[in-house]
Amino acid sequence: MDARTTLRVDGAERTVDLDTRTTLLDALRERLGVTSPKKGCDHGQCGACTVLLDGRRVNSCLVFAVAVDGAEVTTAGGLSDGEQLHPVAQAFVDHDGLQCGYCTPGQVCSAVGMLQELKAGWPSHVTSGDNGPVEPTEEEIRERMSGNLCRCGAYANIVAAIREVAT
């Protein structure tokens, strides 16, 4: 059974008829031609498909597109301002936080969402202290980014890139 679904993807409203079992990832890639989020594991374990959904990071392979009808979806491609990269994406380039680049769009979206969580004072497993802004320590960044895997092993540079933007 198909359902008409409208999403605001990277600032543009897009409407498409989808099978109700279609994931947000498949709707973006296969139906809307948005290829920034990648299909890695298709089980929510690698983070390659991470996007911002109404400002919060999600694994788009785990979300049914019809369940988020009307939502704002931001991919790594939608974070840039024309030719100007988002500060997080630019930091990844500056710190050589990528090798093959497959996981990079998900890493960048996850980092942007994570930085918003830090500012909001949301604790993680390693957070110490009371409510309020959370310090972007290496341990805090590694914990929060642990759902995004990099098969090339660029983790040290990824953490350095995120830390630069966070401070």
Can 2-78 and 87-166 be said to share one CATH topology?
no
Which stretches within the chain are classed as H helix?
24-26, 76-79, 87-94, 104-120, 138-144, 155-166
CATH superfamily of 2-78: Beta-grasp domain (3.10.20.30)
Instruction: Give the amino acid at 20.
Output: T
**Do 7 and 71 touch, CB atoms closer than 8 A?**
yes
Secondary structure of residue 117 in the 3-state scheme? helix
Q: Which pLDDT score is estimated for 130?
A: 65
Q: Which pLDDT score is estimated for 167?
A: 86
Q: pTM surpassing 0.85?
A: yes
**Do 26 and 34 touch, CB atoms closer than 8 A?**
no
Q: Which pLDDT score is estimated for 131?
A: 66
Q: How far apart are CA 150 and CA 159, in angstroms?
A: 12
* Closest to 159 measured CA to CA, from 111, 89, 118: 111
Q: Which pLDDT score is estimated for 134?
A: 84
Domain boundaries along the sequence of the chain: 2-78, 87-166
Q: Which pLDDT score is estimated for 29?
A: 98
Residues in the chain where the model's pLDDT stays below 70: 129-132
Q: Which pLDDT score is estimated for 133?
A: 74
Which stretches within 8-67 are classed as H helix?
24-26
Under CATH, to which class is 87-166 assigned? mainly alpha
Residues paired with residue 53 on neighbouring β-strands, in sequence order: 56, 73
